[in-house]
Amino acid sequence: DGGITQSPKYLFRKEGQNVTLSCEQNLNHDAMYWYRQDPGQGLRLIYYSQIVNDFQKGDIAEGYSVSREKKESFPLTVTSAQKNPTAFYLCASRDRGWKPQHFGDGTRLSIL
Amino acid sequence: AQKVTQAQTEISVVEKEDVTLDCVYETRDTTYYLFWYKQPPSGELVFLIRRNSFDEQNEISGRYSWNFQKSTSSFNFTITASQVVDSAVYFCALSEAGNDMRFGAGTRLTVKP
């Protein structure tokens, strides 16, 4: 089945540590996205990528970094500069045009 | 500026009641798309519907219906005869020119038996 796989499902970060969240898709979609969701809030866009080797900052990119070396993969690194990383992170992909985004199951990140 | 407003933070109904979730959007584009997603407790977002700015026909899918009114910039979602399985957070989203999407803050719907 085609879809988006996020791993791990739960992740714990120590102070001063960088952690990387994985997002893989086999839908052959060009565009991929990372969102952050805080309790009781909507989704805020962190980064997005429309093609390989290219990505743009979203509304809350500070403290995060991404790469897009392969069409299938769009990992998100939460750096130590992100002082409040505890949240639910969702990855999505989208085909060309005005198609709906498809979402992964999310990664819940917490601070130790 | 807030692009998508879902004024209802939480709604609680009893099973079999009808419920309407409001969505008001803001855009200067003439071409845009609107979406509704459902987020059950498991966390993933499930796509429900897409509507383009040129199609103001109401849509009905089983117990779900959507009312798109450009004059009031609204895209409301109604669940008829609600069921406990409808309990979730529902998000409205707007996609303008380009490839990004803006989500509302979501409405948490609780359907009690």
Give the percent of chain A with pLDDT over 70: 98
Q: Which residues of chain B lie closer than 8 angstroms to A106, CB-CB? A: 43-44
Q: Does B13 touch chain A (CB under 8 A)?
A: no
Instruction: Name the residue with higher pLDDT: A66 or B60.
Output: A66
Task: Report pLDDT for A1.
Answer: 61
Q: Which residues of chain A lie closer than 8 angstroms to B35, CB-CB? A: 100
In whole angstroms, give the CA distance from residue A80 to residue A14.
9
In which residue ranges of chain B is pLDDT below 50? none
pLDDT in tens, A84-94: 999 999 999 99
DSSP assigned state of A73: B
Hey, are the CB atoms on A103 and B106 less than 8 Å from each other? Answer: no
Nearest to A102 by CA among B48, B45, B101: B45
pLDDT in tens, A9-32: 999 988 889 999 999 999 999 999
Q: Which two tokens stand for residue A98?
A: 């005005």
Task: Report pLDDT for B55.
Answer: 83
In whole angstroms, give the CA distance from residue A4 to residue A98.
19
Nearest to A104 by CA among A6, A2, A1: A6
pLDDT in tens, B49-69: 999 898 888 888 899 999 999
CB B80 within 8 A of CB B21: no
Q: Does A43 touch chain B (CB under 8 A)?
A: yes
Q: Is the omega angle on the peptide bond into residue A8 within 30 degrees of 0, that is, cis?
A: yes
